[in-house]
Amino acid sequence: MNTLFRFIVRYHTLLLFLLLLGLSIVLMVRTTNYQQSKVMGVVSSTRAWAYERIDDLTTYLSLKKENERLQEENTLLRNQLNHYLAVDTLYTIKQYDTIKRTDYIYKSARIVNTSTNKVKNRLVINVGQDQNVGPDMGVISSDGVVGVVTKTSDSYAVVLPIINPESHTSCRLVRSNAEGMLSWDAVNYREALLTGVPQHIDVQVGDTIVTSSNSNIYPPNILVGTVKSYEVRSGNLYEIKVSLSVDYKRLRNVYVVKSDSYAEIDSLLNGSER
């Protein structure tokens, strides 16, 4: 017993060091598992609240640019609307399609916190359960696809952006109609990798990449980015470097997309797995 005490006293710094290392490892393992849960903890909500207060202060700095962007988007939407209004002026009978529902509902939100310098990046937006925002809803902006909602609290939500290795988005090359999977390699926050496109498909630098209709989180044909470079990797598949259309550092206003069919498709898929 005496020797044990002497051992502890002698090596107390080393023992303390090992204990604290163990504690940090336990914390790391626990929080990464905790991330799987869909609800944000009290700590994260408080943090999100603090982020929003800070963002309230800094938002004025980028007000002018943001207004210009919204103006641009308005012009685009107005032109599209004009197109729809101009179609079929002779045929004036209105028909309401009662069977088909509106597929997607958009909700505007503001980003209160962004990280682009980590490996596991994430965004925080100022809508949550109170605004009927839940996990697995897509987030897009006027520039293109942003990410997926992963966790929510009463009035905030955490978004998993494309620039996180855990994020996988199914995409389509517009010109060749080939489908691929977009993921991030943690190198550059303006670039991502598109994999799974077979070698026989004609890919060119500058090709536009949009969301595929396979993804039931995002609406189809939302801009993702353009092909920056490509090379053949792992046998006969391309590895395409995509420059993302969204600049996460400048992003402020986004839309949360609620897909009406998502829950149905999801339950169908999960049911068939069993």
Binders in 90-129 for other proteins, by CB under 8 A: 115-120, 122
What is d(CA 242, CA 247) in angstroms, rounded to the nearest whole number?
A: 13
Question: Measured from the CB of residue 135, what is the shortest distance to other proteins in angstroms?
Answer: 15
DSSP code at position 102: P
| Among the residue ranges 22-30, 104-112, 226-234, 235-243, the one whose residues contact other proteins (CB under 8 A) | 22-30
String of DSSP letters for 43-70 = HHHHHHHHHHHHHHHHGGGGHHHHHHHH
User: Candidates 23-31, 76-84, 218-226, 236-244 — which segment interacts with other proteins by CB under 8 A?
Assistant: 23-31
CA distance 216 to 169: 10
Site for other proteins in 42-81 (CB under 8 A): 43, 47, 54
CB of 28 to other proteins, least distance (A): 4
187 makes contact with other proteins (CB under 8 A)? yes
Q: Which helix (H) or strand (E) holds 80?
A: helix 63-86
Cβ–Cβ contacts within 10 Å for residue 238, how many? 22
Piece of 7-15, 97-105, 171-179, 230-238 that binds other proteins (CB under 8 A): 7-15
Distances in Å between the Cα of 226 and the Cα atoms of 37, 102, 218, 229, 273 are 34, 29, 18, 9, 35
Tell me which residues touch other proteins (CB under 8 A): 12-14, 16-17, 20-21, 23-28, 30-32, 35, 43, 47, 54, 115-120, 122, 165, 185-190, 249
